[in-house]
Amino acid sequence: MGVKIIATGAYVPSYRVSNTDLECLLDTTDEWIQQRTGIISRHISQGENTSDLGYYAAKMAIEQANIDVAKIDFIIVATMSADYNTPSTACLIQEKLDANNAFACDINAACSGFVYALHIARSLMDYSTNGYGLVIGSEVMSKLLNWNDRSTAILFGDGAGCVLLEKSVKSNLLSHVLHSDGEKGLSLCAVENPVCNPFVDNEKEVLPFLRMNGRDIFNFSTRQIPTLILETVEKAECTLDDIDYFLIHQANLRIIELVAKKLDVPLDKFPTNVEHYGNTSSASIPILLDELIQQRKIVLNGECTILMAGFGGGLTWGALLIRI
């Protein structure tokens, strides 16, 4: 049994914050941000939370496919910025959608979350009754940021993307490779939850915001992603030439350019939108996929081969090769 993507959706908050706007808040410049990251602007939530963004993206996908929400068997949300520790963002979205027959849960693999979730969804589909499932990447990264820290505040944006999956006889996921390295986890961490109760003697200093060693993550991703892509392609017994588009996590334009160069693949096979959304973590790949479908660069007719690759906190990295 396999899965196929039958519709996509995406949503970003309407409030757009340009690099020039950030010059008023932080000791930074539009030139520095564009040169180091490629980012020009990002969308920032003025109150909508992660479940709201995910709900709008999911609603769009369901409307496009025109299916009955009662047929959705599961909702998986990839997020590192959930509304609550519990209930899960997925349960909140289930309630908003009125998808009463679905089971729902979140997974957290930071910026690799969507790729991880899609792989998990494929396995779940074998046990699905009605044959439909939602995989959503949704993030309000702006609530995790220290808005006085210019080295991180300029990088991220808020948004959500979604795919609606249908069970299919043919497997459209040609291969997958997922990796984690917990040893390097503290290179990128956000919002520590230390033990705090009346029996704890010494209260620990907590880390309330996202903190990242940007240089470490840059080196890790430019080293690991080309290897990961080659591993995934080889596993499917394909070649790089067989791939129409490489949808790489949109963290930084320089990382994407370096990956393309290392693989000797033309840059136009690496579509980007980091320029307009910044790094939206687990939402970046499904937002990009939805844009390519809206622009009709990708048509869901089973003839396009795409490779999705995510990397980020954990550390985690993973790729899927899909025919869509």
Restricting to residues 92-111, name those near ligand ACO by CB under 6 A.
Answer: 110-111
Regarding 154 and contact with ligand ACO (CB under 6 A), the answer is yes
Cα distances (angstroms) measured from residue 318 to each of 28, 47, 165, 266, 308 = 33, 31, 20, 22, 8
Residue 270 interacting with ligand ACO (CB under 6 A): no
Task: Report how far apart, in Å, the C-alpha atoms of 37 and of each of 128, 140, 292 are.
Answer: 41, 20, 22
Q: What is the number of other CB atoms lying within 10 angstroms of the CB of residue 95? A: 14
Site for ligand ACO in 173-212 (CB under 6 A): 188
Angle between helices 30-37 and 253-263 (to 10 degrees): 30
Piece of the chain touching ligand ACO by CB under 6 A; list 3-11, 147-155, 234-242, 265-273: 147-155
d(CA 94, CA 88): 10
Beta carbon nearer to ligand ACO, 28 or 273: 28
Looking at the chain, how many residues does it have?
A: 324
The answer to whether residue 250 forms part of the interface with ligand ACO (CB under 6 A) is: no
Minimum distance between the CB of residue 146 and ligand ACO, rounded to whole angstroms? Answer: 12
Q: Which stretch binds ligand ACO (CB under 6 A): 3-11, 117-125, 146-154, 257-265?
A: 146-154
Give residue 110's Cα distance to chain centre: 8
Q: How many whole angstroms separate alpha carbon 313 and alpha carbon 111?
A: 7
DSSP state, residue 156: B
Out of 12, 217, 285, 288, name the contact with ligand ACO by CB under 6 A.
Answer: 217
Give the C-alpha separation, 259 to 267, whole Å.
9
CB atoms closer than 10 angstroms to residue 241: 8
77, 233, 289 from 299: Cα distances, Å = 24, 21, 11
78 in contact with ligand ACO (CB under 6 A): no
Q: For ligand ACO, give the closer residue by CB, 236 or 315.
A: 315
Size of the site for ligand ACO (CB under 6 A): 23
State yes or no: residue 251 binds ligand ACO (CB under 6 A).
yes
37 vs 142, beta carbon nearer ligand ACO: 37
Nearest-CB residue for ligand ACO: 312
Min. distance of Cβ 254 from ligand ACO in angstroms? 7
Q: What is the DSSP string of 159-221?
A: EEEEEEEEEESS--EEEEEEEE-GGGGGGEEE------STT-SSPPPP--SEEE-HHHHHHHH
Radius of gyration of the chain (CA): 19
Asked if 262 is part of the footprint of ligand ACO (rule: CB under 6 A), the reply reads no
Active-site residue (options: 49, 91, 108, 111): 111
Q: What minimum distance in Å lies between the beta carbon of 190 and ligand ACO?
A: 7
Contact range with ligand ACO by CB under 6 A, out of 33-41, 71-79, 95-103, 288-296: 33-41
Dihedral angle of Cα 129, 134, 135, 137, to the nearest 10 degrees: -160
Q: With binding defined as CB under 6 A, does residue 150 bind ligand ACO?
A: yes
Interacting residue with ligand ACO among 19, 37, 89, 224 (CB under 6 A): 37
| Active-site residue, 111 included | yes
The catalytic position among 19, 43, 91, 249 is 249
Q: Which residues bind ligand ACO (CB under 6 A)?
A: 28, 32-33, 36-37, 110-111, 150-151, 154, 188, 214-215, 217-218, 221, 251-252, 255, 279, 281, 312-313
Q: Enumerate the active-site residues.
A: 111, 249, 279
